[in-house]
Chain A
């Protein structure tokens, strides 16, 4: 074998043999062998840096095999007459051009891999992770080191029951390690206001998976190092697809979720597909109140929003009139009914027994009016 490798490299084989045995068969078998070894090593590691270094080594091995194959074929024409040598080498160059047309992408990818392997993730420092009571907040990118931080924080707080996620994603392998820890501890997951790309891998690992009202959950295909694929190749082999399959999410949903563009499904779609586990009405109202409360002190439809409060099946929004008159011109309390019932989510909650209360007070806090919505007309 070594003899053959050296003979090919030195150009001692005939062009026919160099092309077919060196350039095709041996190159394929060498590349497959290298991939197999690296795959076995990658599967046995849980470190993103090691896995990335192995992937980088794989790229290096493939490049070395390509160079070996090409040099051997080129040299095999050395003793040939010009009428054979010229077309043969031109054919080789033409094929090289075909192989190398993605060279800038490969170099860019190799650069990113090198940065990750050397511990300088281009995504920046990992998410801030801290336990708050029975919750642990993961806030920021899932870059190199995020899973280690998560494991450390989780290890110190056995009372944690829910992982609260707020992340635009990051490295798939880090997300997978976090997902593994979530699954092992039987934790629930909760998307606070956004959970995108690789974050959905961690999100899918929750026993119960819930999202704050209005939270944006974005799905897309991510590769092993967290970059988008350029096309649809291998879409069912992506880490996101694996996570969704493990969470028993609907197959059509998985297909939509593993596209190259970020897809933000509606909460109802996520519940229907099984990605979000159905929330109780009271949970849902609490989420709505929590989300709405972030707008406290802001103007909403000519009123100053004073805050939201929810308890069991009841949710109350309080508004203060800021003008001299009693209520802004054109406003009628009947409009509140229409507005609440126009929202599909609110309508479904009301159908399940929820009560929406809107309270309007004047500048001094005196009650101006109160609208209680317990029923919506048929659409």
Chain B
């Protein structure tokens, strides 16, 4: 966890109301310093987000493009291709949630919140910009063999500097919402979601095929 004051400018904002809103949500270490989230909390938070959003968006895509969906289901690597296609939509949905509430399901589970330099939830444009950076540099556009490289690089950045490239580029940061981050809780949620998905997805495919 890193001192956030250099990023948040100690809550300096032109809009006092916005600054107050930010101050309500962001953790305060007790000496006026907000704390940046660690890599594992962010990893599990992102995992939960993707496990929530990607299946929902895949169902939506299945409804709109049934022929494409049938072709993907039939293909050997169809699941991977579907994930690559749905990932950008999931990141856009994440940006919408983050811009509206500063949180997403995963960040709630991990006890995190996203704030801009002024200590408030980022605007939609900022959140989209941030997630575009995440998509390009963090997930490397979802290309399976490159995703681990992006994750390793992100881990390195977060461990050394406390922020990722897309944090800095969009000037928005993931900070603790409470007194401590909860990576274990987010991990448990992620595992539970994965197990539920493992059971529910084949059932959905069977229903959809009918």
Which A residues contact B (CB, under 8 angstroms)?
A: 13-14, 16-17, 20-21, 24-25, 28-29, 31-32, 35-36, 39, 233-234, 236-237
The secondary-structure label for the interface of chain B is helix
Flag if B63 contacts A36 (CB, 8 Å). Answer: yes
What are the 10 tightest A-B residue pairs by CB atom distance, in nearest-first order? A233-B67, A32-B60, A35-B63, A32-B63, A25-B92, A31-B64, A234-B70, A20-B92, A14-B125, A234-B67
Flag if B93 contacts A25 (CB, 8 Å). Answer: yes
Choose among B64, B128, B132, B209 the residue that contacts A21 (Cβ–Cβ < 8 A). Answer: B128
Interface set, chain B 68-89, CB cutoff 8 A to A: 68, 70-71, 88-89
| A16 in contact with B63 given A24-B88, A236-B70, A237-B209 (CB within 8 Å) | no
Q: Which residues of B contact A17 (CB under 8 A)?
A: 124-125, 128
A-B contact count (CB 8 A): 54
Choose among B59, B60, B128 the residue that contacts A16 (Cβ–Cβ < 8 A). Answer: B128
C-alpha spacing A236/B92, complex, angstroms: 33
24 inter-chain pairs at a CB distance below 8 angstroms, sorted by A residue, are A14-B125, A17-B128, A20-B92, A21-B92, A21-B128, A24-B88, A24-B89, A25-B89, A28-B57, A28-B61, A28-B64, A29-B60, A31-B60, A32-B59, A32-B61, A32-B64, A35-B63, A35-B64, A36-B63, A39-B63, A233-B67, A234-B66, A236-B70, A237-B66
C-alpha spacing A145/B66, complex, angstroms: 29
For the complex, is B96 an interface residue (Cβ under 8 Å from A)? yes
CB nearest to B67 among chain A residues: A233
CB nearest to A15 among chain B residues: B125
Flag if A233 contacts B92 (CB, 8 Å). Answer: no
CB nearest to B64 among chain A residues: A31
CB nearest to B96 among chain A residues: A21
Which B residues contact A (CB, under 8 angstroms)?
A: 57, 59-61, 63-64, 66-68, 70-71, 88-89, 92-93, 95-96, 124-125, 128-129, 132, 209
CB nearest to B66 among chain A residues: A234
C-alpha spacing A16/B124, complex, angstroms: 10
**Which residue, B59, B70, B132, has most C-beta atoms of chain A within 10 A?**
B70
Distance in angstroms from A62 CB to nearest chain B CB is 8
Flag if B71 contacts A233 (CB, 8 Å). Answer: yes
Q: Which residues of B contact A24 (CB under 8 A)?
A: 88-89, 92
C-alpha spacing A25/B96, complex, angstroms: 10
C-alpha spacing A28/B70, complex, angstroms: 18
Distance in angstroms from A202 CB to nearest chain B CB is 20
Can you add 12 more A-B contacts, CB < 8 Å, to A16-B128, A21-B92, A24-B88? A14-B125, A20-B128, A21-B124, A21-B128, A24-B89, A24-B92, A25-B92, A32-B59, A233-B68, A234-B66, A234-B67, A237-B70
Flag if A28 contacts B125 (CB, 8 Å). Answer: no
Q: Which residues of A contact B95 (CB under 8 A)?
A: 20-21
Q: Which residues of A contact B124 (CB under 8 A)?
A: 13, 17, 21
Q: Which residues of B contact A233 (CB under 8 A)?
A: 67-68, 70-71
